[in-house]
Amino acid sequence: MQYILIVFSLSFNPLTSYRMGRGYLVEDAVERYLSDLCGQQAGPLTGLLIGQSSAQRDFVVMATRTPYKQESAVASGDFLVKEWVTEHARQVSRMLPGGLSVLGVFIITEIDNKDTLTTLRQLLFAVENLISSEHLWTPEADDITECVTLHVNPKTRKTVCRTFDVKDPKSMAKPADWKYQSGVCSSWSMVSCCLNVDMLLPLPNNRTSTENMDLCVKEGLKAWADQIKSGFCLFDGKKLPEDTEFTAGQKRNVRQKCSAQLLIKPGERRQTDVIQQCGGNLSVRGTIHSRAYVHSNKPKAKLAEKLLKRDVISTVSTRVQMLLEELLTSEEEGKSSRDSQQIEQFGFPRRIFCPVKATGLVCVCDYQFSDEGLCEMTDRLKEMLDIDAVEEDLDTRQEMTAELRESNIKAEAKVETAKVLEPKRNNFTGVAIAAAAAVLAAAASMLYLNDV
C-alpha cells in the first residue's frame, strides 16, 4: 500500500493579516465633557465629535451633545430620532471653519450589545450623507473617508471606539485607538484671508417651490465654486509648492498665523455665452473673512490651500442658503409681497467667531443677521455646540455689518427695468459668475434679490 503525503505550505505576514485601526488623539477637555454628561444624563444620550483628519491619525478637539427635542421625548426614551440628530449635525457643520468637521458620533448608554453599534453605524452614515449633500466640491483622493463612533458606558466609564468607511455602504466596524492628551491643537496653524465676492445667481420661474429654488441656486453656486477651486493661494505673499511642509521652520508648540491671498483666474465664458430662462436673479456682493486651521503633523501647503478654499465656498454657500430659507419662510407666512419688477435688498449675514476656550486658538463661528443681537449668538452657540460663551467672547471685528442704501436700490432697478424690455417679453437674462479678487480688509456684504 502506498501513502501519499501532501504538504501545505502556508505563509503568515502579520502586517497584511491584521490591519491596525486609525488612531485618535483627543483633547482632554473632551474627556471631562463626556464625564460630565455621564454624571448628568438620566437616559441614553447622543452627540457629535468634532476635529480634523490627517493621513496618519485624527484629532478630536471638541464634542457636543444632541439638543433635547422635547422633555416628553426624553421621558419616553425616544432619544434617537435620526432626523433630529442629522439636522443637528448639519447646523453644527455650518458653524465650523475650514479644517474642522464632524468626525463622528458618540452615544452614552449602559446598553452594551450589537444593537448599540448598529444604531451608531446608522447615525454615522445618515449624518455624513446629509452634510456631504451640502458640499459644493468633489471629494479628492486624499480625503479621509473613515469616521468614528464612540460608545461610553456611564457607570463603568468604559469607552469603545470603532470606525467605518462612510463611502462604503458595506463597511464593517474596525477597532480604533482612542487616546486623551492635553494641547492637541496648541500648535496648529491658522490661515486667513479676505475675499471680495461678486456673483449673479439665477432664480427659477416657480419661486414657490423650495426644491426648484434650492436646485437653481446650488447650480449657480457650483459654477462660482469651480472658479474658487481653480485659483491658487499666496501664503504671506509667497506661492508654495504643493509638497512643501506648511509648518517648516516653525518652532515646536508655537502657534502660527498666516495671511493668505486667494487669486482667481478670470472665467473663460462671457455673460452672453450662457443664456437661460429664469424668474429673477440673486446678486451677491461684498467681502467675506475666511479662515482654516491646519494640524501640526507635518501638513503640506496643498492641504492648507484646500482647507481655505473649502471654507470660502462653504461660508458663502451657507449664508446664501440661510437667507433664502428666511425669505421662503417669510413668503409662506405672508410677510412678504412683491411686484413682478421689484428689487429687494437684504443684508448678508456676517460671520462672527467664538473661541473654544479649552483649545485656545481654535474658534467656531456663527452668522448674525442685521436684526439679531449678540445674545442670540451666544444662545445658538449654547444650543448647537454646548458652549458657554458671553458676548465679550465673540469676535465681531472680522466683517462689518452691511449698509443698505436706497440709492443703490434705485440704480439697480433702472438696470433691471431695461433688461425686462426684451422682444416678445420673454424673461431671459445672461448669467455670469464674476471673478472674485483677493482684498486685504473686510467690508460690508449684501445680497440683492431681483425680480425680473
Domains of the chain in sequence order: 22-181 (3.40.140.10), 189-348+402-451 (no CATH)
Q: What is the pLDDT of residue 444?
A: 36
List, for residues 43-67, the tens digit of each pLDDT value.
789 999 999 999 888 999 999 999 9
Q: Residue 232, Cα to own-chain centre: how many angstroms?
A: 21
Question: DSSP characters for 219-270?
Answer: HHHHHHHHHHHH-EEEETTB---TTSBTTTTPPTT--EEEEEEEE-PPPSS-
pLDDT tens digits, 189-220: 999 999 999 888 887 776 556 667 778 888 88
Mean pLDDT estimate for the chain: 78
Name the DSSP letter for residue 361. Answer: S
Q: For residues 222-243, b (16+ Cβ closer than 10 Å) or e, as one string? A: ebbbebbbebebbbeeeebeee
CA atoms within 13 A on the CB side of 9: 0
**SS3 track for 44-80:** CEEEEEEEEECCCEEEEEEEEECCCCCHHHHHCCCCC
Residue 92 C-alpha cell reads as 453644527
- Give the cell for residue 2: 502506498
Predicted local confidence at residue 212, as pLDDT: 72
- What are 218-253's pLDDT values in tens digits? 888 999 999 999 998 999 999 999 898 887 655 655
Q: What is the pLDDT of residue 149?
A: 97
The pLDDT score that the predictor gives to residue 368 is 94
Residue 442 banded pLDDT, cuts 50, 70, 90: very low
Burial 249-281 (b: 16+ CB within 10 A, else e): eeeeeeebebebbbebeebeeeeeeeeeebbbb
Coil, strand or helix at 5: coil
Instruction: State residue 326's pLDDT score.
Output: 78
| Residue 421 grid coordinates | 424690455
| 239 within 8 A of 320, measured Cβ to Cβ | no
% pLDDT > 70, the chain: 71
Cα 312 from Cα 292, distance rounded (Å)? 9
DSSP letter at 349 equals P
Distance separating alpha carbons of residues 190 and 139, to the nearest angstrom: 23
Of the pLDDT bands very low, low, confident and very high (cuts 50, 70, 90), residue 273 is low
Q: How confident is the model at residue 283 (pLDDT cuts 50, 70, 90)?
A: confident
- Residue 263 pLDDT greater than 50, yes or no: yes
CA 121 to chain centre: 21
- The answer to whether residues 290 and 311 touch, using CB atoms and an 8 Å cutoff, is yes
The number of angstroms, rounded, from the C-alpha of 280 to the middle of its chain's C-alpha atoms is 28
Label residue 333 left, alpha or beta by phi (over 0 means left) and psi (-120 to 50 means alpha): alpha
Which triple of cell numbers denotes residue 37? 454628561
pLDDT for the residue 247: 76
Confidence of residue 5 (pLDDT cuts 50, 70, 90): very low
pLDDT digits (tens, 9 = 90+) for 325-336: 877 776 666 554
User: Please, what sign has the CA dihedral across residues 389, 390, 396, 397?
Assistant: negative
pLDDT given at position 61: 96
Let me know: does 43 contact 77? Beta carbons within 8 Å. Answer: yes
Among the listed residues 267, 262, 237, 364, the one whose alpha carbon sits nearest the alpha carbon of residue 313: 262
Q: Which has the minimum average pLDDT: 279-293, 307-321, 354-368, 406-420? A: 406-420
Q: Higher-confidence residue: 360 or 170?
A: 170
Q: Each residue of 131-160: pLDDT tens digit?
A: 999 999 988 999 999 999 999 999 999 999
**Lowest-pLDDT range of 278-292, 375-389, 397-411, 438-452:** 438-452
State the pLDDT at residue 437: 31
Percent of the chain with pLDDT over 90: 51
**223 backbone dihedrals φ, ψ, rounded to 5°:** -65, -40
Say which residue, 203 or 1, is predicted with more confidence.
203
Q: Is the pLDDT of residue 296 over 70?
A: yes
**pLDDT one-digit tens code per residue, 76-98:** 444 468 899 999 999 999 999 99
At 361-418, the pLDDT tens digits run 899 999 999 889 999 999 999 999 999 999 999 999 999 876 655 544 333 333 232 2
